[in-house]
Structure 1
Amino acid sequence: MKPAQNSRRSFHFSLFQGILPLNSKQIPLEIIAGITFAAFAIPEVMGYTKIAGMPVVTGIYTILFPMLAFAIFGSSRHLVVGADSATAAIIASGLTTIAVPGSSQYVAYASAIALLVAILLFLGGLFQLGFLADFLSYTVLIGFLTGAGIYISISQISGMLGIPSEPDGTSVQIISLVRNLFLTNTPTLLVSLSVIGVIVLGEKISHKFPGSLIAIIGAIAASRILDFSSYGISVLGTVPQGLPQISIPQIPLSNLPDIFNISVSCFIIILAQSAATSRAYAIKFSDTFNENTDLIGLSLANAAAGISGTFVVNGSPTKTEMIKNAGGRTQLTQLTTVLTVILVLLFFTRPFAYLPTAVLSSMVFLIGLHLIDIEGMTALHRQRPVEFAVALITAITVVVIGVEQGILIAIILSIIAHLRHSYRPLNLLLVPKAGGAMKTFPLESGQQAVEGLLIYRFGSNLYFANEDRFAEEIIDLAIKNGSLKWFCISATNIGDIDFTSAETLKKVYTQLQKLGITLVLSEVVQPVMSELDKDGITQMVGKDHIFESVQDVIEAYKRSTDSSSHRSTDNFSH
C-alpha cells in the first residue's frame, strides 16, 4: 500500500506515530538494531562534527535529545534524524567568517542556528508547507550534493597530511595545499592511509562491517601505546564526559541576519532531503507518513539540538539506510540508540582523548567522496543534457563560490526548471485508433482526427506565461489545415486557467470563427468549467460544443457532417 496523499499532506498530531502499533516479536530485533546502529553512527557523526567545525562531543549530542524528540513527535517509522554532511557544510561555510571554529562563540552561533531552523520548520508544519519539498528537483540535489562532496573532500586533505589549513574557500585551500605540501607530516599521512584502507576494505567485505568503528578503536589503541603526539600527530585531547547542559545560546543580535541566512539554507535542505527520504522508505515498506507532522518532529529535534549545545540535525538518508540494513523497522531502534549513546557519554569518552584528528579528517574525506554522485551525473549527461547542465552549474557554484550560494542557485534553477516544463509543455494531436483508443502525434504532423476535425491536447495549466504559445499553436494549426471545420481543445491536462489566458481563449475563438472553424472543448474539469462560466466563455462557445470526452466530440462531429451532407443532397434534388 503506497502512502496516501491526504495522509502525507494533512496535519495530524499524536505521539509515537513512528513506533505504534508495535509488533512484540519485532522488539528484540529493534533493540539489537539500535545498538548496532550506535556503533556505526558515533564515528559517522564525529566526522560530520569536523565538517561543521564543532567540538567532537557535540556530534555525539546530535544522536541524543534530537533523535529522542523526533522518535516521539515524528510520523515516519524509518527516518533517522541526526547530523548530516550537507547541513554541516552549510553551517561551516557561513560561520567561519563570524567566529573561530570550535570556540564557545562558534558553538553558540551553531546552536542559535538550530533554534532558528526549529522555528522555520515549526511554521512549515503548522502551515502545511511540506509540499514545498517537491519544488527542489532531484537534478539540482544531485548537483548540490556532488558539489558539497568535492568541497568537503578538499577541505579535509590538509588534516590528512598534517599541514596548516585555510578556511577561506576551496580555491584558497587548493593553493594553500600546493604551497604547504612540503610540510607534510609523514606519520600523520600513514595514519590517514591506514584509516582509509580499513574503511574501504570493510566496505568491500560488507556494508554491515563497522570499518569506521574498527579504525577509531585501532587508532586510539595505537595512539595510547605508541604516544602518537610525540611523532607530531595531532590528537583530540580531553572530550567532556556526561550529558549536555541545557541552556539557551547567547549571541549578539547584530549577527542575527547572518545566521538567519544560514538557517534558511539549512531549512531548505532539511525540507527536501527529509521528505524525500521519508517518502522513499514509506513506499519501500508500504507504510504511511505525514510530511507536515514530520516537519513538527524535525522542528522539535532541532530545538532540542539548540538547547543542548549542538548543531542542526536533518533527516539523514545514510543513517536511515544503516538502520534498515541493521534490521530496524520503527523508531524504537532510534530510542535504543539514544540509550546506548547515553552510556557512551557517561562512561566511555575518556579514550577519545587519544584519537588522532587525522582519523576524523580521513573519515570525512571518504564521506565527501560518497556524496559525489558520478553515476547520477553520468546518467543526466546521457539522458537529459539540459538537466546535466543545471546539476553541473549547481555543483560548480558550491565548489567555487560557496555552499550557501549553491543552495540559492539550486532553488533558482529548480524554479526555472518547473517554469520551463509548464511554459513549454508537451502539446499533441489526438487521432483515434481502431477500437476507439487515441493515438498521439506531434503538432508538426498536422494529423486530423477525422477529415475536417483536429483535436489539440494542451499539456499543462493555462496561464499568462504560456498563453501566447497556446494561441500561436492553435492559429498556426488552423491556417495550415485549410479544410478544418471543427477545432477541438482537449483540456484534460488543464487544471487551472487565469484571467489573461481566459481573455486569450476568447481571442482564439474569434480568430477561428473568422476562418470559418468551430471551436469545441472536451474533458474540461469542474474548476476550469467554473472559470469559463464566469468569464462568459461557456456562453460564447456554446454548451452544446463542450463535451465530456474526445470520443463524444468525434461522434458529434460525424453527426454534424452527416446532417450537412443530407441537407446539401436535399437542396440539390429540389
Structure 2
Amino acid sequence: MFLSRWLPGLANLLHYRAEWFRHDLQAGLSVAAIQIPIAIAYAQIVGLPPHVGLYACILPMIVYALIGSSRQLMVGPDAATCAMVAGAIAPLAMGDPQRLAQLSVIVTVLVGLMLIAAGAARAGFIASFFSRPILIGYLNGIGLSLLAGQLGKVLGFQIEGDGFILSLINMLQRLNEIHWPTLAIGVAGLIALIWLPRRFQRLPAALVTVAIATLAVGVLRLDHYGVAILGAVPAGMPELAWPQTNLAEMKSLMRDALGIATVSFCSAMLTARSFAARHGYAINANHEFLALGVSNLAAGVSQGFAISGADSRTAVNDMVGGKSQLVGIIAALMIAAILMFLTAPLAWIPQAALGAVLLMAGWGLIDVQSLRKIHALSRFEFWLCVLTTVGVLGVGVLPGIIIAVTLAILRLLYSIYQPTDAVLGWLPGVEGQVDIRHHEDARTVPGLVVYRFDDAILFFNADYFKMRLLDAVQREHQPRAVLFDAEAVSAIDVSGIAALREVRDTLKAQGILFGIARARGKFLRMLVRSGIARELEDRLLFGSVRAGIRAYRVWRNRNKELFASE
C-alpha cells in the first residue's frame, strides 16, 4: 500500500513481467538516442556547457522512474523550461559562466522545493487555471523566442538584442555576415530533421542528423574554415556542491522559480494525462507535483538545470512500445555510459547542427492548427491565446502568463456576474420547462412566476440576482407567488443569503408568496444554516418544480376569493 501510494513506479517495477524487457530495452535506447543531442542543445539555451544538459537527464530520469505514476512520461530538459531558466539567471550572472552554473543549480532546487510544497498542499487543481488556449499561446511564444534566439547558430554569427523583436531586427541588419559553410550545415540539418521522421519513423532523427554533421566536420576539418564546434566535453559524473548566494538573488530567483515550477508542472501534466488516457489509467496530479519536485531536486544536486516532462521523448517511448518506468532507467544508464566513456566524439559536434535541432524544437512548439480551431470556436479565447504569445514575447514568460490568466479569470467572473436566467413555462409535447422569452406560445400557470438562475449566488452577483428576479415578477400580470428553481445554483454566500432574504421580504410586502424548489448541495446547507429553510417551512421548500406548482394550485383553490376579480 505504501509503495503504490508514494512510489508507484517502484511498485510497478516490483511486479515487472519478463516479456516487457525487450520492449523496454528498445524504448530506453531510443529515448537515450533522442535525449542526448536534445539535452546538449538545450543546455545552450540556458547558456551552460553541453555536459550540464546530460547531468540534467541521468539522476532525474531514475528518480522519476521510481516515484512517478506515469508509465510513459520521460522527464528531462524542456525547451520552454530552459528558456525560462535562462531568462531568470542570465541577468544575475552578468556573463560569468561559473556564476551562471551556480544560479542554475539554485533555481532548480527552488523549483523542486516549490513543486514538493505544492504537492503536499494538494495544489494539483492549479493545472486547471492554465486553459488550453493559454498553454498554446505560451508555447507559441516560447517557440518564436527559440527561433529568434537560435537562428544565429545556423547563420554563423552571434545575434545580439534583448527580446524577440530586437533579436530579429539585429539578425536582419547583419545578414551580410552570414557564414556560408555554417549555413550549409544548418540547412542540411534542417532538411534531414524534416525528411528523416517522414521516411523512417522509428529512426532517432536528431541523433542521426547530429552524427552525420559531426562526421562531416571531423573528416573535412571544417572547423579550420570557421565552422564553430562544441569543443571538449569533460568526462565523468558531476560533483555534488551547493553554491553561495545572497538575499537579493534569492528574492529574484524565488519569483522566477515559481513561474518555472508552475509551467513545468502544467506542461508535464498535459503530456502525462494525454498518454495515460491513451493507455487507460489515471494520473494523480498531487502526486505528480511531488514526483516532478523530487526529480528537479535530483537535477539540482547533480549540477543540472530545471526539467519537466519531455513530450518528444515521451512520444518516442510510446511509439517504440515501452511498457514500464524501466525505460527511463535504461535511458539514464545509457546517457551515463556516454558521459563516462564516449565524450571525445561530442567535441566535434557543429554548433549549426545543434542550432538546427533547436530550431525544429521551437517550430514544434508553435501550434497554428489549434490556433485556427480556437478562432472558430471562441474569439475571446483566440485573442487570449494571442495575447499570451505577445506577452511572452514582449514582457517575459511569467508576466505574459499572469496577464492571460488574470484576463481569463476576469472573463469567468464577468460570466458569473451576469449568468443566464429564465422565466419558465411549458410547451405541448416538450418535456420539462422552457424559457418563455424564446417561446412565445409557451404556457404558464396564472399568477405564478417560475424563475431560474443559472449560477452560484455570490457577493458580486447577488444584487444582479435580486434585480433580475424582481424584474421578472413585475412583468407578470397580477403575480400571486414566485417559485425559485434553484437547481443550477451550486453555492451561495453570506451576501447571497442577504439578497435572498431581501427578495422574500420585498415580495411579502407586496402580498406575494416566495418558495424555493430543487435546492441541493451547498446551497441547501446554507439555507439550513441561515435559518431560511426553517422560515420558509416545508410548505414553501419543494423537492421539484412540479411539487411547487401543485402546492400553488392547492393554495389558489383554497383562496379563490383572492382571484375573483381576475
TM-score w.r.t. the length of structure 1 is 0.91
Q: Say if 2:127 is the partner of 1:133.
A: yes
Deviations 1:28-52 (A, max 9, x none): 2122111112112222223322222
Deviations 1:158-188 (A, max 9, x none): 2210112225111221221122111110111
Pairwise mapping of residues 144-159 of structure 1 onto structure 2 (< 5 A)? 144-159=138-153
1:372 maps to amino acid? I
Residue 545 of structure 2 aligns with which residue? Answer: 550
Which secondary structure does the structure 2 equivalent of 1:246 belong to? coil
Pairwise mapping of residues 456-471 of structure 1 onto structure 2 (< 5 A)? 456-471=451-466
Q: Say if 2:183 is the partner of 1:203.
A: no
Deviations 1:442-469 (A, max 9, x none): 8666866544444333232221112122
Q: Say if 2:239 is the partner of 1:245.
A: yes
Q: CA deviation at 1:217?
A: 0.5
Closer, same or farther: CA 439–37 of 1 in aligned 2, 3 Å? farther
Once superposed, what is the RMSD of the aligned Cα atoms? 2.6
In structure 2, distance between residues paired with 1:27 and 1:512: 74
Range with bigger deviation, 292-301 or 556-565: 556-565
Residue 47 of structure 2 aligns with which residue? Answer: 53
Q: CA deviation at 1:429?
A: 4.7
Residue 374 of structure 1 aligns with which residue? Answer: 368
Residue 498 of structure 2 aligns with which residue? Answer: 503
Range with bigger deviation, 17-26 or 323-332: 17-26
Residue 493 of structure 1 aligns with which residue? Answer: 488
Closer, same or farther: CA 464–357 of 1 in aligned 2, 3 Å? same
Does the aligned pair in 2 maintain the 1:458–1:490 contact within 8 Å?
Answer: yes
Q: Say if 2:288 is the partner of 1:328.
A: no
Q: CA deviation at 1:61?
A: 2.0
Q: CA deviation at 1:17?
A: 4.8
In structure 1, distance between residues paired with 2:324 and 2:436: 49
1:396 maps to amino acid? V
Which secondary structure does the structure 2 equivalent of 1:242 belong to? coil
Closer, same or farther: CA 167–496 of 1 in aligned 2, 3 Å? same
Closer, same or farther: CA 282–484 of 1 in aligned 2, 3 Å? farther
1:438 maps to amino acid? G
Q: CA deviation at 1:71?
A: 1.3
Does the aligned pair in 2 maintain the 1:509–1:541 contact within 8 Å?
Answer: no
Q: CA deviation at 1:124?
A: 0.7
In structure 2, distance between residues paired with 1:556 and 1:465: 33
Which secondary structure does the structure 2 equivalent of 1:274 belong to? helix
1:215 maps to amino acid? T
Closer, same or farther: CA 445–299 of 1 in aligned 2, 3 Å? same
Q: CA deviation at 1:23?
A: 3.7
In structure 2, distance between residues paired with 1:206 and 1:416: 48
Residue 298 of structure 2 aligns with which residue? Answer: 304
Does the aligned pair in 1 maintain the 2:425–2:433 contact within 8 Å?
Answer: yes
In structure 2, distance between residues paired with 1:491 and 1:554: 15
Q: Say if 2:529 is the partner of 1:534.
A: yes
Range with bigger deviation, 164-173 or 153-162: 164-173
In structure 2, distance between residues paired with 1:259 and 1:389: 31
Pairwise mapping of residues 386-425 of structure 1 onto structure 2 (< 5 A)? 386-425=380-419
Residue 517 of structure 2 aligns with which residue? Answer: 522
Q: CA deviation at 1:410?
A: 3.2
In structure 2, distance between residues paired with 1:307 and 1:44: 21
In structure 2, distance between residues paired with 1:48 and 1:334: 19
Closer, same or farther: CA 448–223 of 1 in aligned 2, 3 Å? farther
Which secondary structure does the structure 2 equivalent of 1:64 belong to? helix
Closer, same or farther: CA 521–281 of 1 in aligned 2, 3 Å? farther
In structure 2, distance between residues paired with 1:19 and 1:136: 33
Q: Say if 2:157 is the partner of 1:163.
A: yes
Does the aligned pair in 2 maintain the 1:427–1:443 contact within 8 Å?
Answer: no
Residue 481 of structure 1 aligns with which residue? Answer: 476
Range with bigger deviation, 150-159 or 240-249: 240-249
Does the aligned pair in 1 maintain the 2:457–2:496 contact within 8 Å?
Answer: yes
Which secondary structure does the structure 1 equivalent of 2:92 belong to? coil
1:31 maps to amino acid? L
Closer, same or farther: CA 364–454 of 1 in aligned 2, 3 Å? farther
Deviations 1:177-211 (A, max 9, x none): 12211111011111110000001112332543322
In structure 2, distance between residues paired with 1:192 and 1:27: 38
Does the aligned pair in 2 maintain the 1:46–1:57 contact within 8 Å?
Answer: yes
Residue 66 of structure 2 aligns with which residue? Answer: 72
Q: CA deviation at 1:66?
A: 0.8
1:475 maps to amino acid? L
Which secondary structure does the structure 2 equivalent of 1:96 belong to? helix
Closer, same or farther: CA 436–176 of 1 in aligned 2, 3 Å? closer
In structure 2, distance between residues paired with 1:507 and 1:448: 29
In structure 1, distance between residues paired with 2:15 and 2:483: 53
2:384 maps to amino acid? V
Closer, same or farther: CA 101–331 of 1 in aligned 2, 3 Å? farther
Closer, same or farther: CA 427–297 of 1 in aligned 2, 3 Å? same
Range with bigger deviation, 370-379 or 298-307: 370-379
- Structure 2, unmatched stretches of 5+, are none
In structure 2, distance between residues paired with 1:338 and 1:437: 61
In structure 1, distance between residues paired with 2:484 and 2:216: 76
Deviations 1:220-257 (A, max 9, x none): 10010011211211110011212222222333443111
Closer, same or farther: CA 502–116 of 1 in aligned 2, 3 Å? same
Closer, same or farther: CA 422–324 of 1 in aligned 2, 3 Å? farther
Does the aligned pair in 1 maintain the 2:265–2:292 contact within 8 Å?
Answer: no
In structure 2, distance between residues paired with 1:206 and 1:502: 65
Closer, same or farther: CA 454–240 of 1 in aligned 2, 3 Å? farther
2:468 maps to amino acid? E
Q: Say if 2:9 is the partner of 1:13.
A: no
In structure 2, distance between residues paired with 1:183 and 1:78: 45
1:378 maps to amino acid? R
Deviations 1:276-316 (A, max 9, x none): 33333222222133211111111110100111111111123
Closer, same or farther: CA 103–386 of 1 in aligned 2, 3 Å? same
Q: Say if 2:292 is the partner of 1:262.
A: no
In structure 2, distance between residues paired with 1:281 and 1:431: 46
Does the aligned pair in 1 maintain the 2:134–2:401 contact within 8 Å?
Answer: no
1:407 maps to amino acid? I
Residue 353 of structure 1 aligns with which residue? Answer: 347
In structure 1, distance between residues paired with 2:73 and 2:444: 50
In structure 1, distance between residues paired with 2:546 and 2:276: 39
Does the aligned pair in 2 maintain the 1:64–1:338 contact within 8 Å?
Answer: yes
Q: CA deviation at 1:148?
A: 1.2
Q: CA deviation at 1:368?
A: 1.1
Q: Say if 2:508 is the partner of 1:513.
A: yes
In structure 2, distance between residues paired with 1:320 and 1:472: 54
TM-score w.r.t. the length of structure 2 is 0.92
Does the aligned pair in 1 maintain the 2:56–2:303 contact within 8 Å?
Answer: no
Range with bigger deviation, 116-125 or 411-420: 411-420
Q: Say if 2:31 is the partner of 1:37.
A: yes
Closer, same or farther: CA 430–240 of 1 in aligned 2, 3 Å? farther
Q: CA deviation at 1:264?
A: 0.7
Range with bigger deviation, 99-108 or 111-120: 99-108
Q: Which residue of the other structure, out of 196, 211, 215, is the alignment partner of 2:209?
A: 215
Q: CA deviation at 1:495?
A: 2.7
Range with bigger deviation, 134-143 or 482-491: 482-491
Q: CA deviation at 1:64?
A: 0.8
